[in-house]
């Protein structure tokens, strides 16, 4: 786990050699360490840690992916009889699923099945995700295997499956757009860029969150990724406003590109989950 320190009332976690703000101000470093110890030893359930909600519980699920055991923290909604939406969520480089659950996507959409995946070691042994084809496509295969297994356990709405991720996880989200366009209904990368080798071709709804002062993934690289998305979706390059810092390209189309540009650095602002979920709720493959 990255070293955590309190900065300006929030908790920051290191990604590679930089520091990235992820956690709400109310989550202290000391409490975070206590909760992590409790979670690892199974003394309390995640649903109790995070307070009363409409999901039933969270559990660590594991899958054998080509001989490699992969895992994720899965939050299941309380009502699973009906078709339920699914959100796949991917942490940043050097982070982990335990930390990333505190982005609280599941709290923003408690009726959804939310899956916080754990990355495998990459360079320097730190966990992360592939950002282009190759490396046996181990993370693309993870998505395939996990989704197949989840379909066997839950009544999943195949028209409402979504992907989101932060930084390196956001780059993998872009890769999923290019390599699995028939699976997901919309994508929401945060603080991410697009590798030149990654070429999405099918227009899909996309919501990109970027910080103007990001020095880990430059703002210029992120605006270039947004420009590619606008081109792929064939929407008007002149955006309309959707609020402070918010712009939407192709607001009246089935594949809009929405952006939220905040004044921060390589961060995951506390309202990010709510903004992501608000966008995802509007999009389904059947409309």
pLDDT given for residue 54 in this prediction: 58
Give the residue-averaged pLDDT of 170-175.
Answer: 98
Q: For the chain, how are helix, strand and coil distributed in percent, rounded to 5?
A: 30, 30, 40
Q: Of 110 and 24, which is predicted with more confidence? A: 110
Give the residue-averaged pLDDT of 24-50.
Answer: 38
* 178 — pLDDT class (breaks 50, 70, 90): very high
pLDDT given for residue 68 in this prediction: 96
pLDDT given for residue 40 in this prediction: 41
The pLDDT of residue 244 is above 70: yes
Residue 272 makes CB contacts below 8 A (sequence gap 6+) with 103, 190, 209, 260
The pLDDT of residue 257 is above 80: yes
Max intra-chain CA distance, the chain: 53
Residues 64-87: tens digit of each pLDDT: 999 999 999 999 998 877 899 999
Give the residue-averaged pLDDT of 141-169.
Answer: 98
pLDDT given for residue 56 in this prediction: 58
Q: Identify the residue whose tokens are 């880990």.
A: 216
- DSSP conformation class of 267: B
Give the residue-averaged pLDDT of 99-115.
Answer: 97
- Torsion on CA atoms 281, 139, 269, 53, rounded to nearest 10: 60
Share of the chain above pLDDT 70, in %: 80
Classified by CATH at the fold level, domain 49-281 comes out as Rossmann fold (3.40.50)
The pLDDT of residue 261 is above 70: yes
Degrees (nearest 5) of the Cα angle 245, 99, 119? 95
Cβ atoms of 211 and 262 within 8 Å: the answer is yes
Q: Identify the residue whose tokens are 């209904």.
A: 185
pLDDT given for residue 46 in this prediction: 36
Question: Domain locations in the chain?
Answer: 49-281
Q: Average per-residue pLDDT in the chain? A: 85
Q: Identify the residue whose tokens are 């959707």.
A: 242
Give the residue-averaged pLDDT of 216-243.
Answer: 97
Say which range, 17-31, 49-63, 241-255, has the weakest mean pLDDT: 17-31
Residues 148-159: tens digit of each pLDDT: 999 999 999 999
Strand 156-166 to strand 127-128: parallel, antiparallel, or no bridges (unpaired)? unpaired
pLDDT given for residue 131 in this prediction: 95
Q: Tokens standing for 15?
A: 């990604």
| 90-107 residues labelled b (16+ CB within 10 A) or e (exposed) | bbbbbbbbbbbbbbbbbb
């Amino acid at each position: 786990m990255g070293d955590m320190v309190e900065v300006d009332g929030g908790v920051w976690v290191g990604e590679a050699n930089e520091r990235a703000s992820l956690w709400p101000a109310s989550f202290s470093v000391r409490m975070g360490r206590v909760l992590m110890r409790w979670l690892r030893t199974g003394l309390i359930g995640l649903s109790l840690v995070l307070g009363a909600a409409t999901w039933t519980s969270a559990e660590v699920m594991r899958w054998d992916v080509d001989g490699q055991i992969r895992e994720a923290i899965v939050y299941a909604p309380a009502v699973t009889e009906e078709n339920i939406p699914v959100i796949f969520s991917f942490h940043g480089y050097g982070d982990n699923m335990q930390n990333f659950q505190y982005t609280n996507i599941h709290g923003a959409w408690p009726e959804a099945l939310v899956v916080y995946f754990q990355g495998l070691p990459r360079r320097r042994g730190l966990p992360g995700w592939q950002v282009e084809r190759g490396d046996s496509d181990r993370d693309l295969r993870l998505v395939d295997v996990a989704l197949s297994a989840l379909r066997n356990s839950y009544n999943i709405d195949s028209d409402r499956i979504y992907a989101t991720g932060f930084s390196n996880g956001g780059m993998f989200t872009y890769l999923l757009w290019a390599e699995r366009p028939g699976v997901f209904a919309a994508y929401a990368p945060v603080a991410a860029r697009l590798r030149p080798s990654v070429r999405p071709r099918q227009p899909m709804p996309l919501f990109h969150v970027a910080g103007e002062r990001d020095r880990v993934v430059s703002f210029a690289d992120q605006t270039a990724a947004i420009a590619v998305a606008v081109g792929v979706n064939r929407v008007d390059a002149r955006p309309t406003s959707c609020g402070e810092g918010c712009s939407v390209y192709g607001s009246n189309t089935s594949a809009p590109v929405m952006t939220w540009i905040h004044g921060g650095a390589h961060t995951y602002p506390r309202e990010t989950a709510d903004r992501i979920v608000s966008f995802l709720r509007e999009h389904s493959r059947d409309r």
